[in-house]
Chain A
Amino acid sequence: GAVVSQHPSRVICKSGTSVKIECRSLDFQATTMFWYRQFPKQSLMLMATSNEGSKATYEQGVEKDKFLINHASLTLSTLTVTSAHPEDSSFYICSASGQGLRKQYFGPGTRLTVT
């Protein structure tokens, strides 16, 4: 299957700082990338959908100015958590799908801890 990587795998940052998480599709062109967050023992919650070269579409309740998403190429999307607070601590997972593909391939996730 297709491979999606995320970097970093875990990050600890201080409250008020910003953190950038990268999501890369390694062996296919990802026309669409998705960002999810997951709290312990809960399901994945879709935050936003991004298509290469266009602005991301955010789900209701997700602040677009706080969670900046950039999908500048067919293999890279980034999520920047700006002015992070402890309540932003979570597991962030990206997924990618290619042209004509219904299946999403998931990255390994990034554990963010804000102190």
Chain B
Amino acid sequence: GESVGLHLPTLSVQEGDNSIINCAYSNSASDYFIWYKQESGKGPQFIIDIRSNMDKRQGQRVTVLLNKTVKHLSLQIAATQPGDSAVYFCAETDNAGNMLTFGGGTRLMVKP
């Protein structure tokens, strides 16, 4: 799924499959990117971040890929679990400050 404006697209995956959530950004000056996970009724939780001098960063079961050429960010979740069901937001900031600009979000639904 890809974030588009305020509409929340939904990505539905089978438990155990890998998930890929995409995000496009427009500010070429952005140099720091974060993925957040937000469960229903809760605040966003930090998942993983990446600086613009990298194109890939791995965490536990998650990988973030950054393609600066096309201004594209993706979050890959390996072996998706029911607990991964949530809305995922990408956020970006430039080196002028620490204000985040959020993408529209993608709802991930994991089918058992």
Q: Give chain A's interface residues, CB within 8 Å of chain B.
A: 1, 4, 6, 32, 34, 41-44, 46, 49, 91, 93, 95, 97, 101-109, 111
Contact = CB atoms under 8 A, between A and B. Distances in A.
Given A41-B8, A43-B105, A102-B32, A108 B42 contact: yes
A102 B41 CA distance: 25
- Interface bracket on B: 20 to 34
B92 to A, nearest CB: 11
B5 to A, nearest CB: 9
Interface of B: 3, 6, 8, 32, 34, 36, 41-46, 49, 89, 91, 93, 98-100, 102-105
Contacts of A109: 41-43
Nearest to B51: A102
B103 A106 contact: no
Nearest to A41: B8
Contact of A111 (B41, B44, B102, B104): B41
B98 A108 contact: no
Where chain B touches its partner, the secondary structure class is: loop
B37 to A, nearest CB: 11
Contacts of A102: 32, 49, 93, 98
B99 A46 contact: yes
B103 A104 contact: no
Contacts of B104: 42-43
A41 B49 CA distance: 24
Given A34-B100, A43-B3, 15 more contacts: A6-B43, A41-B8, A43-B104, A43-B105, A46-B102, A95-B43, A95-B44, A101-B98, A102-B49, A102-B98, A104-B91, A106-B44, A106-B45, A109-B41, A109-B42
